[in-house]
Structure 1
Amino acid sequence: MRRATPFLAAALLACAPKHLPPSGPKPALEAAAVQPGDRSRVPEPGPAPALKVPPQRHFQLTNGLKVRLVEVHKLPVVALHLVVDAGASYDPADEPGLASFTAAMLTEGTKKRSATRISDDLGFIGASLSAGAGFDSASLSGSVLSGHLEELLEIFADVLMSPVFPQGDFARVQDQRLVSLIQQRDQPGATAAKTFQKLYWGDHPYGHWPMGTERSVKATRRGDLVRYHAARWKPRSSELVVVGDVAEQGLRNALEKALGAWKGGSTPTSKAAVAKPPRLQTVLVEKRGPAPQAYVMMGMPGFQRSSPDYVASEVAFQVLGGGTASRLFRKLREKEGYTYGIYARSEARKLGGTSFIVGSVKADVTGAATEAVLREVAGLRERPVPPEELAVARNALLLSLPADFAVTAGIAGKLAEEVVYGLPDDYWDQFAVQVASVSPVDVQRVSQKYLDTAKLTTVMVCDPAAVKPQLEGVPLGPIQVRPAAPAGAPSKTSAKVRAR
């Protein structure tokens, strides 16, 4: 940038007023703001945000599709979240990943729209639309300004009812999924999770990776997706959550117009299969390449999402490893310097669950870090949590909850959780009340029940030669060593794909 010349500067000064009028008295708020504060005192926190869960209304379309509506008129926005009983737990045993693959292809083309046209039509009205599948359900969700709701519903219905899974797009998505799975060979977290799932769940519906395997993705054909969609995506096995600036009668009319032609009966539900009997076991998976760290996953039997122990367990896991104030974080990171982060969490699903402790630790202290984890777990089982520590854990859960209900998409997501797991309408109101009432006795009780290290399945992605000697004397059960996944590049599946 060029500097102003002396002549230009002089000219500018000459144009300026010679004397500025004296400023008047500052407003009271501004005057108060410039007063020196007492920096020896921590400012008092403001009032905690209040949890406001809007009331729900339920109705049903003529085709059997259940709808739950929450009217929120603060902003002209509407969020849709369709929950379908078509999750990965329904994957055929020889076709893991089919539910996820099917959902991923819904927005890739319909009978009257290409993938590009779908994207363009959504962009024209400023809308979003996406589909996916987890273990317990599949979903189709979107959002739009309320003035364009009917236009979004027309696209929503087209994607839902008339996907054609175009062959060219199928081959492209198949290649993308295969590349992603191959990349996961070098991701310690994915390697540990896949190994743990198979060790713990065995032939249970939760015993496979939702995305499938490289072999299953290669073997999938377009016709498999067509059949799965026809078999599982049905109105009587689905529920639509609508949140936002829309009135009930207008929504009923719009939904009947858009989705009334969606036909089909209900689908069989998953039976509560039993997981493999838990036993004390450890697997060391060789990490490809240098291994300055060991990725550690320690899992124990957990509980279903609908369990009455869920709330107390969430508080217990917050105390143990829920964040920077937790016991594991303070001990293993702040005091010992073993790790950048280590966490405890529960993974509660429809048919069962697991309790996890996960983190990466320095390879040369893996044994010491593992022993430290076991001591912290034992401490939570053996001694009641001090009231001050319990209050911190409860507040961490309570103070973050209102943010989930601050926007329409967040509300829709929370209500979709109620749908998937059969939770009552007042669940989130009661959740807050129950968290606030969790006692030290409750935390100790669920810790003794669900943090049972005698049933510990441990997976470490590491250099086994460096780590295994450190584990001598650590009560982890028999130790098995597995080689690293082979290196490899994805082959071009698109040339090999055949339509069925």
Structure 2
Amino acid sequence: MARQKALGHRLSDQGYDEARGEAFVTSIRPLLQRFAALGIALVALAVLAPAPSHAAAKIQHLVSPGGIEAWFVQDATVPLIAMEYAFGGGAAQDPAGKPGVGNMVADLLDEGSGDLDSRTFHERLERRAIELSFSSSRDSFRGSLRMLKDTRDEAFELLRMALTSPHFESADVERIRAQVMSGLRRETTNPNSLANRKFLALAYGEHPYGRPVNGTLDSVPAIEVADLKDYVRRVLARDTLKIAVVGDVDPATLGKLLDQTFGGLPAKGDLAPVADIEASRPPQRFFIPLDVPQTVVTFGGPGIRRDDPKFMAAYVVNHILGGGGLSSRLYREVREKRGLAYSVSEYLLWMQHSALFVGNTGTRADRAGDTVDAIDHEVRRMAEQGPTEQELDEAKSYLKGSQMLALDTSSKLAAALLQYQIDRLGIDYIERRNAIVDAVTAEDARQAAQRLWGQGLNTVIVGRAPQAAAQPAATPPAAN
């Protein structure tokens, strides 16, 4: 089945990159390779929306007859409709002792609902080329729906059923639980997964942000059907619902579809409060031994929240340091000049109650120390000196030019509009964004660099100890 089940979650499953249109679980700028969870495209329909500047001018604030709000771009260029939506809550609403509940709900909502069992439900999706998916990120429970214009009524009806009358049949629950557990077992030997989990645990401890979104080998077996139903009751409610739609549908028809789909949900959710938290301060370093060919390094520290007035300055200077792909300082210093790693990147990650900067690279075990030292040196140099005027001008030019090109499909534009709502950026943000980038001065960038990197790095290294890397791998015993 052509479904997208988010069984594993990377660090960047929430808090979206500006150059990707600020849009999760939503890949809008490929250079940072993040948020594939929400970047869903209809098979054989990678069609362009109108030119982004044209689409931005037509963004409507739609209110359905029943009072459900959405940001909407009507586009009749192709007979396609893309919808992204989110409920507040996400994995932060998992019970304290049971991380992974929201992730299990996301994997089970389309496993039979209403009068349809799991097999029949998916047969109807596939027969009509409807793409329906759900995911749980740290602060929101998200969904995506893609369909042709001719199948919109059935698509919205299947979504309504999934949201309002999921079955959670024992056989389906156990099948999905087994899939999740299989993914978690694989993570125990995956250096990237181990590094990410340790980094988040170091950053946030017992706070909900420190828990793995997809749960643990201990928590997932303890999740009961009652936990799943209680999560749905508390989280899937209209008061936190945000919706973005792009496609070939008129406002009156869309309003009716939204009422029919979401109108039966509870008016108010029952969310547990989540406290604001600052990530643990650097410098700290941890090593996790694992016998793998390549050592993985995850590094980072406290970030700058999306609502901070200096966020854009941080975003621009971060692009220069590590977010600009092949043009970034880290790439040049670590890969090109020293040959220590094949790639290295660093990005800002923001959530509703905290923010991080996070970087990743991989290298040989005997060069891990040199790699970390090179990264730390470049980070400290940026914190002390800030970027050059040329770097700043080039970064601003790139970020202004690339953003519009990044919103080149209905799905990407819908994902971006959803994230703009979540981040409270305003319906005219696309139009204002370049002026905000232009307003960043060299002094703004220098101050942001000092805030981000002045304390150094928290670092997690996963791989062989340097001395072990110099030895040949042990030969496994012959089978009897």
Match of 2:22 in 1: none
State the secondary structure of the residue aligned to 1:196: helix
Correspondence for 2:271 among 250, 259, 268:
268
The 3 A distance-change label for structure 1 pair 371 and 221 is same
The 3 A distance-change label for structure 1 pair 302 and 467 is farther
Match of 1:391 in 2: 393
Match of 2:260 in 1: 257
Q: CA deviation at 1:212?
A: 0.8
8 Å Cα contact 1:329/1:341 also seen in 2: yes
Instruction: Note the alpha carbon deviations across 1:384-405, whole angstroms, 9 max, x for none.
Output: 4233322332344333322332
State the secondary structure of the residue aligned to 2:219: helix
8 Å Cα contact 2:234/2:269 also seen in 1: no
Match of 1:410 in 2: 412
The 3 A distance-change label for structure 1 pair 73 and 307 is farther
8 Å Cα contact 1:161/1:262 also seen in 2: yes
- CA distance in structure 2 between the partners assigned to 1:263 and 1:370 by the alignment: 50
8 Å Cα contact 2:85/2:242 also seen in 1: yes
TM-score, reference length from structure 2:
0.82
Match of 1:474 in 2: none
- CA distance in structure 1 between the partners assigned to 2:147 and 2:67 by the alignment: 25
AA matched with 1:130: S
AA matched with 1:80: M
State the secondary structure of the residue aligned to 1:243: strand
Match of 2:30 in 1: none
- CA distance in structure 2 between the partners assigned to 1:276 and 1:350 by the alignment: 13
AA matched with 2:196: A
Q: CA deviation at 1:276?
A: 5.9
Tell me, yes or no, if structure 1 residue 164 matches structure 2 residue 167: yes
Correspondence for 2:230 among 197, 211, 227:
227
Correspondence for 1:348 among 347, 350, 353:
350
Instruction: Note the alpha carbon deviations across 1:5-52, whole angstroms, 9 max, x for none.
Output: xxxxxxxxxxxxxxxxxxxxxxxxxxxxxxxxxxxxxxxxxxxx8744
Write out aligned runs for 1:135-146 (5 A).
Answer: 135-146=138-149
- CA distance in structure 2 between the partners assigned to 1:190 and 1:254 by the alignment: 40
Q: CA deviation at 1:428?
A: 2.7
AA matched with 1:297: T
8 Å Cα contact 1:298/1:459 also seen in 2: yes
Match of 2:82 in 1: 79
- CA distance in structure 2 between the partners assigned to 1:74 and 1:124 by the alignment: 24
The 3 A distance-change label for structure 1 pair 392 and 187 is farther
- CA distance in structure 2 between the partners assigned to 1:414 and 1:423 by the alignment: 11
Match of 1:200 in 2: 203
- CA distance in structure 2 between the partners assigned to 1:389 and 1:258 by the alignment: 48
Correspondence for 1:374 among 366, 373, 376:
376
Match of 2:310 in 1: 309
Q: CA deviation at 1:63?
A: 5.4
8 Å Cα contact 1:66/1:236 also seen in 2: no
- CA distance in structure 2 between the partners assigned to 1:184 and 1:96 by the alignment: 16
The 3 A distance-change label for structure 1 pair 147 and 169 is same
- CA distance in structure 1 between the partners assigned to 2:186 and 2:242 by the alignment: 35
Q: Percent identity?
A: 26
Q: CA deviation at 1:279?
A: 4.5
Q: CA deviation at 1:325?
A: 1.1
Aligned residues: 417
Match of 2:296 in 1: 295
Correspondence for 2:452 among 430, 450, 453:
450
Choose 303-312 or 54-63, whichever is displaced more: 54-63
- CA distance in structure 2 between the partners assigned to 1:64 and 1:430 by the alignment: 28
8 Å Cα contact 1:63/1:235 also seen in 2: no
The 3 A distance-change label for structure 1 pair 114 and 240 is same
Correspondence for 1:89 among 68, 92, 100:
92
Q: CA deviation at 1:263?
A: 3.3
Match of 2:212 in 1: 209
- CA distance in structure 2 between the partners assigned to 1:251 and 1:159 by the alignment: 19
8 Å Cα contact 2:195/2:296 also seen in 1: yes
- CA distance in structure 2 between the partners assigned to 1:379 and 1:351 by the alignment: 29
- CA distance in structure 2 between the partners assigned to 1:51 and 1:365 by the alignment: 47
Instruction: Note the alpha carbon deviations across 1:122-165, whole angstroms, 9 max, x for none.
Output: 22322211111100111121111223212211111111111111
AA matched with 2:166: P
State the secondary structure of the residue aligned to 2:182: helix
Correspondence for 2:434 among 432, 435, 438:
432
8 Å Cα contact 2:299/2:358 also seen in 1: yes
Structure whose alpha-carbon radius of gyration is higher = 1
Correspondence for 1:113 among 108, 113, 116:
116
- CA distance in structure 1 between the partners assigned to 2:391 and 2:264 by the alignment: 55
Match of 2:42 in 1: none
AA matched with 1:68: W
8 Å Cα contact 2:384/2:454 also seen in 1: no
Tell me, yes or no, if structure 1 residue 243 matches structure 2 residue 246: yes
- CA distance in structure 2 between the partners assigned to 1:267 and 1:430 by the alignment: 35
The 3 A distance-change label for structure 1 pair 113 and 449 is same
The 3 A distance-change label for structure 1 pair 120 and 233 is same
The 3 A distance-change label for structure 1 pair 277 and 369 is closer
Instruction: Note the alpha carbon deviations across 1:354-373, whole angstroms, 9 max, x for none.
Output: 11222112222222222211
- CA distance in structure 1 between the partners assigned to 2:262 and 2:206 by the alignment: 37
State the secondary structure of the residue aligned to 2:208: coil
8 Å Cα contact 1:77/1:143 also seen in 2: yes
The 3 A distance-change label for structure 1 pair 267 and 223 is closer
- CA distance in structure 1 between the partners assigned to 2:421 and 2:198 by the alignment: 30
Q: CA deviation at 1:91?
A: 1.3
8 Å Cα contact 1:61/1:260 also seen in 2: no
Match of 2:28 in 1: none
Q: CA deviation at 1:314?
A: 1.8
AA matched with 2:393: A
- CA distance in structure 2 between the partners assigned to 1:325 and 1:60 by the alignment: 44
The 3 A distance-change label for structure 1 pair 376 and 465 is closer
Choose 255-264 or 416-425, whichever is displaced more: 255-264
Q: CA deviation at 1:199?
A: 1.1
- CA distance in structure 2 between the partners assigned to 1:56 and 1:388 by the alignment: 35
8 Å Cα contact 1:82/1:141 also seen in 2: yes
TM-score, reference length from structure 1:
0.79
AA matched with 1:115: S
Q: CA deviation at 1:310?
A: 2.3
- CA distance in structure 2 between the partners assigned to 1:259 and 1:280 by the alignment: 47
The 3 A distance-change label for structure 1 pair 403 and 82 is same
8 Å Cα contact 2:111/2:172 also seen in 1: yes
Write out aligned runs for 1:22-37 (5 A).
Answer: none
Match of 1:30 in 2: none
- CA distance in structure 2 between the partners assigned to 1:51 and 1:452 by the alignment: 38
- CA distance in structure 1 between the partners assigned to 2:357 and 2:468 by the alignment: 24
8 Å Cα contact 1:355/1:451 also seen in 2: no
